[in-house]
């Protein structure tokens, strides 16, 4: 018998949620990501519990146990039970009644098998009892997880037509949990290629959230290459090109994955399909513009700071198929530490307003061109030699 373990599993608050259900004669089964990650030895972030208790019953039991039930998705059977400040999503077993590729109409069920059949991938249809015993209602899910094989439940074509976002989820799960050496499931790729157009009907918010999670994988390059081959990438990022992604991942080394840095390397029309925050959009535009500028490492460091300069240099090197020398990063670091030695007061009262700003910019350009070597006195002595404003 396969069992799960972990601090999250034995936490008193989580046990309290399970006990409120089982104590009333209902099932309480951990499901999805928490079971999958526990089996893979990956940190568990969210605790989801499936039950045969109806949503109203879950609310009743939670209140009786002194817990806080929040009807976050009651129409779909989900009640968030807060215990000790920790949210636990408790969802009634469900089966799909009607789907349109974007959302589903569900009916509640008393059978875990029905609940498992409506999920996306076999590795996500694994459950665990409160004592940790793993339940594989459909069979094959545990074997697929151990083999790191991402496979749609039952018929790939049907699963995708139920929710076209599963196309992106397939590539994300393969990037995070799949075996790159094994490759991808042929049936899945065939169904994805046939239904790639269905992504156009999804909201930009759903597309963006899923795509950024994919780009946050340790190495999303094989998944992006498959997306391009299946015709998916053009629906997500028109004009995007994944050529520089694999070199970028290699150059990043042990640096934490950065979805926006990787998105910048992909190029394409991000605004056409993605819904980024204003801050994200500004950063993306800055990275792309600077990566295509003629500015050297030191100038990039001075203008953007060391961290952003490093991102820009990584993108530039990956796009050109070059390595990134330590000396290049040292130049960027030195530029980031440089401080322009001339202050506005040094040029007043001879210059004011726009003339003052223009003169400061001219002196700054001269200072940068000198490799940040010219002193304050050097620059002021040359101020009058500059072209007239």
Q: What is the DSSP string of 235-251?
A: HHSTT--GGGHHHHHHH
Judge if the upstream peptide bond of residue 143 is cis by omega within 30 degrees of 0.
no
Tens-level pLDDT at each residue, the chain (389 residues): 899 988 998 999 999 999 999 999 999 999 999 999 999 999 998 999 999 999 999 999 999 999 999 999 888 899 999 999 999 999 999 987 666 656 666 789 999 999 999 999 999 999 999 999 999 999 999 999 999 999 999 999 999 999 999 999 999 999 999 998 999 999 999 999 999 999 999 999 999 999 999 999 999 999 999 999 999 999 999 999 999 999 999 999 999 999 999 999 999 999 999 999 999 999 999 999 999 999 999 999 999 999 999 999 999 999 999 999 999 999 999 999 999 999 999 999 988 999 999 999 999 999 999 999 999 999 998 877 666 65
Range(s) within the chain of domains with CATH label 3.30.460.10: 1-147
Exposed/middle/buried for residue 104 (C-beta within 10 Å: 0-12, 13-18, 19+)? middle
The reply to whether CATH 3.30.70.100 applies to domain 1-147 is no
- For the question of whether the overall pTM of this predicted structure is more than 0.75, the answer is yes
Taking each helix axis from N to C end, the angle separating 221-229 and 165-177, rounded to the nearest 10 degrees, works out to 150
The CA–CA distances, whole Å, from 55 to 19, 69, 107, 152 equal 16, 10, 12, 28
Rounded-to-integer distance, Cα 296 and Cα 301, Å:
9
Instruction: Specify whether the CB–CB gap between 100 and 2 falls below 8 A.
Output: no
Q: What is the DSSP string of 157-190?
A: HHHHHHBTHHHHHHHHHHHHHS-TTT---HHHHH
Q: Other CB atoms closer than 10 Å to residue 323's CB: what's the count?
A: 11
């Amino acid at each position: 018998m396969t069992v799960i373990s972990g601090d999250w599993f034995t936490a008193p608050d989580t046990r309290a949620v399970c006990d409120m259900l089982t104590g009333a004669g209902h099932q309480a089964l951990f499901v999805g990501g928490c079971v999958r990650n526990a089996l893979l030895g990956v940190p568990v972030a969210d605790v989801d519990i499936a039950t045969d208790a109806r949503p109203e019953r879950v609310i009743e039991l939670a209140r009786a146990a002194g817990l806080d039930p929040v009807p976050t998705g009651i129409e779909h059977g989900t009640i968030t039970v807060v215990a000790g400040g920790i949210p636990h999503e408790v969802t009634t077993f469900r089966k799909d009644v009607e789907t349109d590729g974007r959302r589903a109409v569900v009916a509640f069920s008393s059978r875990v098998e029905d609940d498992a059949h409506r999920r996306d991938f076999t590795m996500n249809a694994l459950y665990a009892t409160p004592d940790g015993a793993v339940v594989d209602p459909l069979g094959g899910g545990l074997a697929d997880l151990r083999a790191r094989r991402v496979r749609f439940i039952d018929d790939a074509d049907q699963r995708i037509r139920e929710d076209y976002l599963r196309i992106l989820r397939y590539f994300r799960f393969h990037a995070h949990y799949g075996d790159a050496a094994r490759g991808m499931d042929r049936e899945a790729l065939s169904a994805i290629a046939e239904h790639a157009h269905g992504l156009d009907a999804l909201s930009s918010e759903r597309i963006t959230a899923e795509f950024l999670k994919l780009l946050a994988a340790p190495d999303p390059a094989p998944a992006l290459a498959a997306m391009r081959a299946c015709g998916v990438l053009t629906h997500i990022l028109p004009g995007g090109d994944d050529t520089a992604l694999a070199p970028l991942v290699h150059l990043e080394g042990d640096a934490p994955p950065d979805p926006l840095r990787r998105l910048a390397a992909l190029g394409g029309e991000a605004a056409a399909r993605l819904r980024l925050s204003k801050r994200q959009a500004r950063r993306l535009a800055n990275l792309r513009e600077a990566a295509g500028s003629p500015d050297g490492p030191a100038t990039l460091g001075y203008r953007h700071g060391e961290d952003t300069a490093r991102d820009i240099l990584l993108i530039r090197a990956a796009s050109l198929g070059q390595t990134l020398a330590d000396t290049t990063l040292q130049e960027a670091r030195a530029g980031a530490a440089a401080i322009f030695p001339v202050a506005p007061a040094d040029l007043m009262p001879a210059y004011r307003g726009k003339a003052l700003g223009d003169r400061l910019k001219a002196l700054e350009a001269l200072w940068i061109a000198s490799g940040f070597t010219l002193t304050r006195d050097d620059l002021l002595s040359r101020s009058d030699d500059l072209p007239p404003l």
